[in-house]
Structure 1
């Protein structure tokens, strides 16, 4: 199908503009990020109420001054991530490899020769888009991610191209089970951003997370049990501007039964909690993570 049939012609100038901006050197884009930071933090105050409420509830021990300092840190981090994601549209494989370093790639890679499928459980911390691109380069033909398709056809195609151009395999969220069946025994990994807010209709697993009663999706638990796949937690942190470090932690080897039932997602929650507490500003606080309440 031609691109003209995927989205209307009047999106073409926007596409050229975004690609043109993406071609700018990263130092220039970080100048753009500085402007975005001031716009989000001090002019439009992007989701400021949500950001401050999330941080106050997550860090009750911190003073209001410290909360606001961390919130400003979040806005600066988020502005950088926005331009970094756009830059990914034209980044070379060499650039991505140089800017995203895996500290222990063998933790994940050891499962592939066995033909074992691996769930990599990540979150909206650091730069999750650069992470998927870097994983596709580190493990050629092995790295994929689950995503929620966008309603706008232009942005859906733009982001799809951005995410897959360096070799990542993308799976629409509703096709996750079908994809696991199709690739069973092939030795590959599928990444789930497992920190999203699950609603009551999803029959979530509830646990205490950052001092709050928090619902988690249980899909990872179910997939691991059904397909006897391994599971690995992904930790990503910014070491300096434009450079990230990724560390894996094995959560399940795919051999032993998962006991208790939600042991996997509980382990994920604990790892993520420690990461957020260590680097609060690098998490996506503008997301309404705690919008659902446990039903009595």
Structure 2
């Protein structure tokens, strides 16, 4: 069944991916109408999340954020599909880096890097970074249920020298990379929710106590890697600019979870500046009523 689904869907995705951007975004507008207006995809979750973190905003303000968010979500979906066939030159034109020298300087000091981000703005095209640097690129991801689409996702990233690895593979692969004398840059989107009963750390995120992923910090300390946050801004439709913010070159000088907390504050700043670009469809605050006594 997985192969049949792949054989049916793949040609459609490919045809969409070769559309010029003008038509791609027209298709995105149509998708917005069906996802938001007709089917109401996860609108209950989005409303609940927005009311939780912005209790001071009126219903009119929250509705405006929702509408902008769903427009951006549909653009992101279509941009992800566009990744199948988009050229290197077009990616470089549309996804720029304001201060690549931050990464280059760390490379010059021969240090591997943990690159942290939230589900904000655009993270789909960050793999174009590999054309500006020499470090080997890895990205932590959640394996797709369909093995054929999972392999497709890996092929798309590998075209630009980024290799997808699961959280279970991360320690082994990064240990092997270090043993081989390789310098690497490993991307983590670390703002989503772990299971409450497996969380090592709880912290306020947008004013609400939640469990927090700490894997990026653990790996940075274990392998003594520099930690950098990337802040994405949408310049206009289909165009983004990333600014790198170095958190530390000495992760083991930080107290446990201090790096993670710094990262969360940076994501909060992004959300407060332009909330419509955050991924509100995830139930990020679903464990807020399960805070263990020791974390209250």
Normalising by structure 1, report the TM-score: 0.93
Q: Does 1:109 align with 2:130?
A: no
1:280 counterpart (275, 278, 287): 275
Q: What are the superposed Cα offsets for residues 229-263 of structure 1, whole Å, 9 maximum, x if unpaired? A: 110011111100110000111111136511x2111
Q: What are the superposed Cα offsets for residues 172-194 of structure 1, whole Å, 9 maximum, x if unpaired? A: 22111112211225222100010
- Counterpart of 2:242 in structure 1 is 246
Q: Does 1:127 align with 2:128?
A: no
User: 1:183, 1:272 → 2: CA distance?
Assistant: 29
**Runs of 5+ consecutive residues of structure 1 not aligned to the other structure:** 1-5
User: 2:70, 2:275 → 1: CA distance?
Assistant: 12
> What SS is found at the alignment partner of 1:111?
helix
**What RMSD over aligned residues (CA atoms) do the two structures have, in Å?**
1.7
Cα separation, partners in 2 of 1:53 and 1:165, compared to 1, 3 Å = same
> What SS is found at the alignment partner of 2:71?
helix
Q: Does 1:19 align with 2:2?
A: no
Cα separation, partners in 2 of 1:223 and 1:159, compared to 1, 3 Å = same
Contact 2:192–2:212 (CA<8 Å) still a contact in 1? yes
Normalising by structure 2, report the TM-score: 0.93
- Counterpart of 1:3 in structure 2 is none
- Counterpart of 1:294 in structure 2 is 291
Contact 1:118–1:230 (CA<8 Å) still a contact in 2? yes
User: 1:58, 1:9 → 2: CA distance?
Assistant: 42
Q: What are the superposed Cα offsets for residues 182-211 of structure 1, whole Å, 9 maximum, x if unpaired? A: 122522210001011011233232111112
Contact 2:227–2:251 (CA<8 Å) still a contact in 1? no
> What SS is found at the alignment partner of 1:208?
strand
Q: Does 1:35 align with 2:30?
A: yes
Q: Does 1:60 align with 2:48?
A: no
1:90 counterpart (68, 85, 88): 85
Contact 1:234–1:248 (CA<8 Å) still a contact in 2? yes
2:136 counterpart (139, 142, 149): 142
